[in-house]
Structure 1
Amino acid sequence: MSELKFAYWIPNKSSGLLLSKIPQRTDWTFQGNKRYMQTAEKVGFEYALFPARYFNAIGEEQLEPITLASALASVTEKITLITAVHPGLHHPAIIAKMVANLDHITEGRAAINIVSGWYKQEFTGFGEPWLDHDERYRRSEEFIEVLKQLWTEERTTYKGDFYRINEAPLKPKPKRKPPIFQGGNSKAAKEMAARVSDWYFMNGNTLEGFQSQIEEVKALAAKEGREVKFAANGFVIVRDTEEEALQVLRDIIDNADEQAVKSFQEKVKQAQGMWSNSKKEDLIQYNDGFKTGLVGTAEQVAERIIELKQIGIDLVLTGFLHYEEELQVFGEKVIPLVRKLEKQVNVLS
C-alpha cells in the first residue's frame, strides 16, 4: 500500500480558514505564503490547495489562486500546486493554457480543482447566469472534458451544451496531464467524479460517512471502467495534551463571527450547497473540518490519520489556526508518526 499523501490549504485570504474572531497567527500575503510553502516542502507535504473566492462573506481580501501559484512555483521545487477554478467564470480553453504553462514552470507540478460553485452572488455579481445545482455539475463535466482533450489531442473540436471548441490547438502541452480534483457531496458530484475526475475531495465527516462516500464513488467509477483517488479535509489542532487541543477548539467556536456564519449558512442553503445540513460549529470552519477529528496530541492525530487511510483515503488535506508555527509542527511531529504507523500496519497486514 502506497504512503498517504499530505496537502494543506493555502491561506490566501485575510480572515484565515475560520469564521471566528479568535486571533490567528497566519499571514495571507505572498511573502507569508512563500514562507509556508517552503516550510511545507521541507517537512513532508506533497500538495498545496489554492482556494478561490471572489465575493467574500465578511469583506476579507484574497489573492487569486493561479497567479499566486505561478509566483510560488518559482520558489519551490517539489510540492504539487492545486489551483481552484470555477467553470462559468472561466473558459476551459484559457484555463487549459494557463495550467499547461504552470506545469511547464513547475516541471510537472500543476493540478486543478474544479469548483462547480455554490455562491450565487459570484456568478450573478459578474453578470453570469446562475444554473440549477445539477446543471452546474454538467457544465463542470464538459469543462473537464475540454481540458483533457486540449491537453492530449493535436487539435480539439468539442460540441457540448455549454462549450463549443473548433479545431483549437494547445501548445505546449503540459509536461504530464495535470491531475483533476473535485469535491461535492451530491449524487451529481459523485457521478461526475466517477466519470471524469482523478481525485474526489470529501469535506469533514465521520469515518463511517467517509467510508460510505468512498464505496459509492468507487462503485460508480468501476461502472465507467475507471478508478478514483480520495482526499479528506480536516482542520488540525495539535497540542501537548488532548485537553489543550480541545480548549483551542472551544475557543474557536466560542469566538465565532455569528454574522458571517449566518450569512454563509443562508448562502449555501440557497444554492443547495454541500454544507446545507451542517451545524453552526461546523460552518465556522467552512469545510466541516472539525468533524474529521484531527484534534489532540500528535500521537492521537497520527492514529486518526491512519484510520482514515485504512478506509481508503489517499490524501489528507489540512488546515491550521496559526500557520506561522502549526504547519511546521504538523510536519515535524505528526507526519513522522504517520510514517512509522504505516510501516507497522503494513507489517501486520
Structure 2
Amino acid sequence: MTLTNALSPAREPVKFAYWVPNVSGGLVISKIEQRTGWDIDYNRKLAEIAEASGFDYALSQIRFTAGYGAEFQHEPVAFSQALLAATTRLKVIAALLPGPWNPAVAAKQIATINNLYGGRVAVNVVSGWFRGEFAAIGEPWLDHDERYRRSEEFIRALRGIWAEDNFTFRGDFYRFSNYSLKPKPIDPQPEVFQGGSSRAARDMASRVSDWYFTNGNTPEEIAKQVDDIRAKAAANNHSVRIGVNAFAIARETEAEARRVLAEIIDKADPEAVNAFGHEVKNAGKASPEGQGNWARSGFEDLVQYNDGFRSNLIGTPEQIAERILALKAAGADLILLGFLHFQEEVEHFGKHVIPLVRQLEAERPLAVAAE
C-alpha cells in the first residue's frame, strides 16, 4: 500500500468533529446506559464543551422518522443555529436532504445563518439511504445513482445561488431563471460536505464537494478511497478533503476500553440492528458496483451507525492518538467522532487525546510510507 501523503510536506493539523446527538438513542443501537441527551439544553452544553476541548466542527443529523432506537429527532438546520448561538468558534454542519429541501430554500436558510454567525455554518448534503423514510413523507424514491445526480445538481445550485446574481441553471432536477439571492453568504462560501462510499459518491465528491465523509475503516482501506478520489479530483481541477467516521472509547487501559465495547455489542438490540442492517445494506448494494456504504458491514459494525468501531479508536489515549496519526497518513483530514457519554467523553478526549495528536504531528511532520 502507498499512503497518500507519504511524499507530501506537513499538512494541516487533523481536524476533529463530533456527531450532534439531536436524535434520541445516542450513536449506538444498544440498550447500554448512555448519559447522552438529545434535548437542546444537553446539546448547548455539549457544544460549549467541544469548543473548549479543541473540536473544530459539530455535525447535526437528519432523520424524519423514528426507528432503530431513535424515537425523537430535532430538525438539523434550526438545531444547528441554536448551537451556533451557544458558541463563538465552533463550526456547525447542518445536514440537508435533497428532495425534502429545495436548493433555493436551503441556500437562503444557510446564507442567513452564515451572516448571523460570522460564517460558521456548513452543510452536509445527504443523498438518502432509507426508502421507507421517503415513502413515509411522500417523497419520490430515486435509484441509487440518480440520487447522487440530484445531489450534485443540488450542490451546483447552492454554489451558483451563493456566488452569482441572476443565477440561471437548467438541470434534470432543478431549474433557476435569473435568480438573485441577497444577502449572499460571507466569503468564503459555506463548506459543502457529503458522504458515501460508492462509485457515484466518490465521483460526485471529486467534482463538487469540499469534504467527503466515509464510514469507519482501517487506514489501508481509507487510503484506497483517498487515492481514488484525489486522483479523480485532480483530473477535474478540483480538490476535496476527507473525513473519516469513528467511535471513540478512551480509557486508562486498553482492557477497560475493550470491555466497554464488548458491553455495547452484548447489549445491542438485535431486532433494531438487523432492521437497520437490512435497510442500509440494501442501500449499499443498490449501487451498480454493489459497494456503497455498509455493503460489507457485519452485525457488530452495524451496532454503530457508520461503522465507527472499524476505525479502532478504542484503547488508551496514547493508542488512540497513534491510530489517528495512521488515519491521517492514509489521507484523513478530519475525524468525525461518536461517543457513549458525549459531554464527559468529549471533554476527556480534548484533555487527553488531542494534545497527544498535536505532539505526534509536531514530531512527525512527514507521513511515513508503508508497504
TM-score w.r.t. structure 2 length? 0.92
CA distance in 2, matches of 1:347, 1:277: 32
Q: Given residue 260 of structure 1, which amino acid in structure 2 is its aligned partner?
A: A
Q: Given residue 5 of structure 1, which amino acid in structure 2 is its aligned partner?
A: K
Q: Equivalent of 1:247, from 256, 259, 270?
A: 259
Q: Given residue 240 of structure 1, which amino acid in structure 2 is its aligned partner?
A: E
Q: What SS class does the counterpart of residue 259 from structure 2 fall into? A: helix
Q: Structure 2 matches for 1:91-240, cutoff 5 A?
A: 91-176=102-187, 177-240=189-252
CA distance in 2, matches of 1:148, 1:100: 11
CA distance in 2, matches of 1:90, 1:43: 33
Give the corresponding residue for 1:42.
Answer: 52
CA distance in 2, matches of 1:227, 1:52: 26
CA distance in 2, matches of 1:347, 1:138: 37
CA distance in 1, matches of 2:119, 2:167: 22
CA distance in 2, matches of 1:83, 1:132: 24
Structure 1: 5+ residue stretches without partners: none
In the alignment, is the contact (CA less than 8 A) between 1:265 and 1:276 conserved in 2? Answer: no
46-55 vs 288-297, greater mean Cα deviation: 46-55
Q: Equivalent of 1:17, from 10, 27, 43?
A: 27
CA distance in 2, matches of 1:231, 1:37: 19
CA distance in 2, matches of 1:40, 1:143: 30
CA distance in 1, matches of 2:70, 2:197: 27
CA distance in 2, matches of 1:212, 1:324: 34
In the alignment, is the contact (CA less than 8 A) between 2:25 and 2:70 conserved in 1? Answer: no
Give the corresponding residue for 1:315.
Answer: 334
Q: Structure 1 residues 348, 155: closer, same or farther in 2, change over 3 A?
A: closer
CA distance in 1, matches of 2:365, 2:295: 39
Q: Equivalent of 1:289, from 308, 320, 341?
A: 308
Give the corresponding residue for 1:260.
Answer: 272
1:238-267 C-alpha deviation (Å, 9 max, x unpaired): 000000000000000000011111111111
What CA RMSD, in Å, does the superposition of the two structures yield over aligned residues? 1.2
In the alignment, is the contact (CA less than 8 A) between 2:23 and 2:70 conserved in 1? Answer: no
Identity %: 50
Q: Given residue 118 of structure 1, which amino acid in structure 2 is its aligned partner?
A: W
CA distance in 2, matches of 1:105, 1:292: 36
Q: Equivalent of 1:343, from 359, 362, 366?
A: 362
Greater relative contact order, per chain length (Cα 8 Å cut-off, separation 6+): 2
Deviation of 1:277 (Å): 2.2
Deviation of 1:124 (Å): 1.5
Q: Structure 2 matches for 1:17-96, cutoff 5 A?
A: 17-57=27-67, 58=69, 60-96=71-107
Give the corresponding residue for 2:6.
Answer: none
Q: Given residue 20 of structure 2, which amino acid in structure 1 is its aligned partner?
A: I
Q: Equivalent of 1:334, from 348, 353, 369?
A: 353
1:213-259 C-alpha deviation (Å, 9 max, x unpaired): 00000011011011111111100000000000000000000000111
Structure 2: 5+ residue stretches without partners: 1-10, 287-291
The ranges of structure 1 where at least 4 consecutive aligned residues each deviate by more than 3 angstroms after the TM superposition are none
Q: Structure 2 matches for 1:264-275, cutoff 5 A?
A: 264-271=276-283, 272=286, 274-275=293-294
